[in-house]
Chains A and B, each alone.
Chain A
Amino acid sequence: MTDTLPDSLTTQSPMGRPLRRKEDARLLHGQTNWTDNIQLPGMLHMAILRSPMAHAHITHLDVTPALSEPHVVAAFSAKELGDLNGAVPCVWPVTDEMQAPAFPALAIDKVRHVGDCVAVVLATDRNAAFDALEAIEIDYEALPAVIDLEAALEPGATLVHDAADSPGTNECYTYHLPGTGIPYDEAKAKADVVVKRRFINQRLIPAFMEPRAVVASPMGVSNEMTVWSATQIPHILRVLLALVTGLPENSLRIIAPDVGGGFGGKLQIYREEILAVQIARHLGRPVKWTETRSENMVATHHGRGQVQDIEIAATKDGKLLGMKVNLLADMGAYLQIITPGTPLLGMFMYPGIYKMDAYDFNCVGVFTNKTPTDAYRGAGRPESTFAIERIMDELAAELNMDPMELRKKNWINHEDFPYATIAGLVYDTGNYEAATAKAIDMFDYAGLRAEQERRRASGDPVQLGIGISTFTEMCGLAPSRTLGALKYVAGGWEHCTIRMLPTGKVELITGTSPHGQGHETAWSQIAADILGIDVDDIEVVHSDTGRAPYGMDTYGSRSLAVGGQAIKKAAERLIEKARVIAAHQLECSIDDLEYAGGAFRVKGDAEKAQPLAAVAFEAFSAHNLPDGVEPTLQAESTVDPQDFSYPHGTHLAAVEVDTETGKTTLRTYVCVDDVGVQVNPMIVEGQVHGGLAQGIAQAMYEGVEYDEDGNLLTASLADYLVPSAADLPSFTTSTTETPSTTNPLGTKGVGEAGAIASTPAIINAIVDALRPMGVNDVEMPASPQRVWRTIQEAKAATA
């Protein structure tokens, strides 16, 4: 306990400063706690036999030969597992009529994608478990694989799900969102120009670097089942594991220790997690499973996977009138946690930052014999942003306008906020003019356009292209009532408890669950600012339902925008409780006290003061508390956000395309993001960089490929091109700061911005470079081969 008073005059607020991260000492010294590190007495290793077929009947399956292999303790198929074979849940039935087929953890009679789980072996040694898979007897009878989305919907198509009660179609659902304005056809009737495009937003693999891992131990404290999992969502996982397994929720403890990236890929309840828990429970021994990267590629959910038909109508001087969007969204073989809802997260964002009179959105979810899809960084919003930002460039070309001018003509001006969009949202704040002006300046837009002209005129084989993306996104998921209206079964609130211990140290217990975002540092900054104490005196407790029981976890750029509000409120409540105790100690009224720099002071009497740490000790000893005040100094808050937040930004890319080889070089990338108030600008910048790399990768490098039999062709990191340092440039990033008004910290969220904004900027740039050759689209990823082919086709068409 300290009696020295902090000097409020020299205490600098930690908010908005690029503090180096608390997390880094342990991460940089290898003192990490990855799930795969865990070894427990009696622990068994689980290995999984996966289907090599995309679609097949299992005609024979016998796991018993595996039992006589060395070190093997047990082996299960669906038959042996019986009632323990839990069903993987989907928590977002987007329509009442949605087709929601059963998704057993271990396949029953039929497999539906390469990587489907068929059987498991448990052994005391990891290699032995893998070896024993070979002994399992299995025969398949192949069925035609459903791969193409349009073919899947044709009458007579092979059915991915054909149970007696299934509706006899590969359609999962149809979702229609009419805009708030006039009917689209009415707007279109007034148009001078209508541009229509089909964009393929290809499937991607999240490819977080730490493979999934789970350890389930039935030997926790008393009757507890402890589950360590490399997950983004320990709290949601706890509820769902209880529902799926029937284990009482209050006997389940979920811990997400150090987690090596997620990007939505660990926003899931996976069949392997269910199997580990059920088998650990059945055998009474801890069970561990860590995926190989090869398993990761086929069995961790994929992202994107949409065919986007988009049509935009405008006047000849470039005023937007309306937009119509028709999506086909690839669900894959089964519905996972939010598979059907993921494309719908984008449905409000197709209008982007623009004003228009009409909007119509339609989405059809389609089952295929591929790995299930679900959230991947941006989840629905990268797809919508890609479509609108791409078609704005196509419209500009059609109108012979500069694409930036077209945007300026149609965007929401800063004085128009709050602005009710045609998709039914209310954007609280924004300043597209400011971010764009700054970006144009940093990029030297005029200079690059002049260079482009020169190269075009001289017929340079290496052409310069400029790509624009003026994006906004919907963050801070989510107001619980909105989620309810969208038929999502849970809420979107967030929780924080702050406790000052008798020694003056603080525990900040958050329901968010970081996996690289630096919450331990940033959350400390928010609380330290309000409590007036040192950032290093705060320990952020997270990702363990035993220590941090309430929370909604980390995804959708929500942790700061929603969780930050709970931190602020809890810290303020803690001060309010301390104020009552301090007034009692100092024998004054609470109104006579001011709080600054970690201490209460009696106004006008600087000598009479009480540091917060001293109040904490009083609250602990409880020898002299005012009547009616309970011992201990802690406060909590659970905040349901009043609305979403809307980060935005202007991203500009300059690419050089070698028209003879098709090779694209990203020369300059400039972005100015407005993420509202920044708690730690260093972390903000890092989030933008990482997002940019993933968005650029979608444009240039990454794409899931299946053959017609449903074999995954990009099944390893040697075939699926996650970019290396040599594939990317340095970025020029900056920010503007327009505080959000939907939360008291004025923050918006930054986790997904880079990934959402950059993909269309790159493709717009490549198309811009090649437009004089007749090119008006390039499919992603824009590999040299594909760009070269596109040029040849354009040449042939114009010849």
Chain B
Amino acid sequence: MSHIPISVTVDGTTYDSEVEPRTLLVHWLREDIGRVGTVVGCDTSSCGACTVLLDGQSVKSCSVLAVQADGQSITTIQGLAEGEDNWHPVQTAFKECHGLQCGYCTPGMVLATVDLLGENPTPTEAEIREGLEGNLCRCTGYHNIVKSVQYASDLMSGGAR
């Protein structure tokens, strides 16, 4: 199969690569450039585990082809706040509110939350639940994920909620 050259910036580093046209963005991230923080949970675009920010917008990286990301910039969970000592407010909130257990849905949940709060900095509980509808978590029952998002909103808006 012929390969197509792409150039994508991931977490601040630009990668020049050649991919099969059918390669999904998530597989390119994980297998070609070793950004394994982003994970795969399904094959029907149902779970949201693979969510990344593509030019600031959250997308399911299993439903985007790598070639479609050519020339764009991606933020994964590994680049949201580089290094374990740096914390994005959403990451802090998930830790403080116990918004994760096994952590498999977490990269997607966190990035979906970043996007959600970008669009609606002070969402209601119902807006949070609707906003995260595309991200499945099997461990937490969502109760503490909702609390995490509310707390992140507090942190990011300086308590304006």
Contacts and interface: CB of A to CB of B under 8 A. Distances in A.
Partners in one complex: yes
Interface of A: 20-21, 23-32, 34, 36-37, 39, 126-127, 207-211, 258-261, 263, 292-294, 515-518, 682-683, 685-686, 689-694, 716-718, 722, 724-726, 728, 730-731, 754
B98 A682 contact: yes
Contacts of B78: 29-31
B84 A722 contact: no
B69 interface: no
Contacts of A28: 77, 87, 91, 94-95, 100, 103, 106, 110
Interface stretch (B38-46, B53-61, B153-161): B38-46
Nearest to B86: A29
A261 B39 CA distance: 14
A686 B95 contact: no
A27 B42 contact: no
Given A690-B139, A724-B133, A724-B135, A730 B125 contact: yes
Contacts of B110: 28
A460 B40 CA distance: 46
Interface of B: 20, 22, 30-31, 34-44, 46-47, 49, 76-78, 80-81, 83-84, 87, 91, 94-96, 98, 100-107, 110, 125, 128-130, 132-146
Contact of A515 (B36, B44, B102, B105): B102
Contacts of B76: 30
Most chain A beta carbons < 10 A, residue from B22, B98, B129, B146: B98
B44 A207 contact: no
A209 B84 contact: no
7 contacts: A28-B77, A29-B91, A30-B76, A30-B77, A294-B43, A685-B98, A689-B140
A717 B47 contact: yes
A26 B84 contact: yes
B102 A260 contact: yes
B130 A726 contact: yes
A29 B110 CA distance: 10
A689 B44 contact: no
B95 A32 contact: no
A294 B44 CA distance: 9
A694 B31 CA distance: 33
Nearest to A126: B31
Given A210-B41, A717-B47, A725-B128, A25 B84 contact: yes
Contact of A209 (B41, B91, B96): B41
Contacts of A32: 36-37, 39, 103
A20 B102 contact: no
A21 B95 contact: yes
Contact of A516 (B87, B102, B136, B143): B102
A690 B91 contact: no
A260 B138 CA distance: 9
Given A28-B87, A260-B39, 6 more contacts: A27-B103, A28-B77, A39-B31, A263-B138, A516-B102, A718-B46
A693 B142 contact: yes
The 7 closest A-B pairs by CB, nearest first: A30-B37, A260-B104, A516-B102, A27-B103, A693-B141, A30-B77, A689-B141
B94 A717 contact: no
Contacts of B132: 724-726
A127 B22 CA distance: 10
Nearest to A28: B91
Contacts of A261: 101-102, 104, 138-139
Contact of A208 (B81, B138, B145): B138
Nearest to A682: B98
A44 to B, nearest CB: 14
A23 B103 contact: yes
A36 B40 CA distance: 9
Contacts of B41: 209-211, 293, 717
A35 to B, nearest CB: 11
B95 A24 contact: yes
Contacts of B36: 30, 32, 34, 36-37
B101 A725 contact: no
Contact of B133 (A36, A37, A208, A725): A725
A515 B103 CA distance: 9
Contact of B136 (A127, A691, A717): A717
A291 to B, nearest CB: 10
Contacts of A37: 30, 36
A717 B46 contact: yes
Nearest to B48: A724
Given A209-B47, A517-B101, A725 B95 contact: no
A96 B155 CA distance: 62
B38 A30 contact: yes
Nearest to B109: A725
A716 B104 contact: no
Contacts of B77: 28-30
A516 B143 CA distance: 16
Given A126-B31, A209-B102, A689-B141, A726 B107 contact: no
B103 A29 contact: no
A30 B138 CA distance: 18
Contacts of B34: 39
Given A25-B95, A518-B101, A725-B132, A31 B37 contact: yes
Contacts of B134: 724
A722 B101 contact: no
A532 to B, nearest CB: 26
